[in-house]
């Protein structure tokens, strides 16, 4: 089943005219899917700005729904000595 992710224009985000629209939208969608900036092609300015915008949008969306932060994951090492 395919998920439908909103476009930046759907959520009220304006793309600056100095950035490439196609790459910005690709970065925005990548950020909404939970991706990481782990490839060299993701380091382009337009992609990074789209990625950043998606993270900020998700933070605001969670805050509006009452989810302030996710619980932290802790690792504990124990040894019998």
- Which residue ranges make up each domain of the chain? 8-64
Predicted confidence band at 79 (pLDDT cuts at 50, 70, 90)?
A: confident
Predicted confidence band at 75 (pLDDT cuts at 50, 70, 90)?
A: confident
Predicted confidence band at 11 (pLDDT cuts at 50, 70, 90)?
A: very high
Query: Nearest-5° angle of CA 53, CA 26, CA 57?
Result: 20
Helix spans in 1-81 (H):
21-32, 45-64
Start-to-end CA distance of the chain, whole Å, equals 51
Global pTM reads 0.80
- State residue 1's pLDDT score: 60
pLDDT at 68 over 90: no
């Amino acid at each position: 089943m395919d998920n439908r992710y909103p476009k930046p224009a759907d959520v009220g985000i304006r793309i600056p005219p100095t950035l490439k629209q196609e790459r910005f939208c690709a970065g925005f969608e990548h950020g909404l899917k939970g991706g990481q900036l782990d490839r060299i092609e993701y380091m382009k300015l337009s992609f990074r700005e789209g990625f950043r915008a998606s993270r900020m949008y998700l933070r605001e969306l969670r805050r509006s729904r009452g989810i302030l932060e996710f619980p932290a994951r802790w690792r504990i090492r124990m040894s019998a000595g």
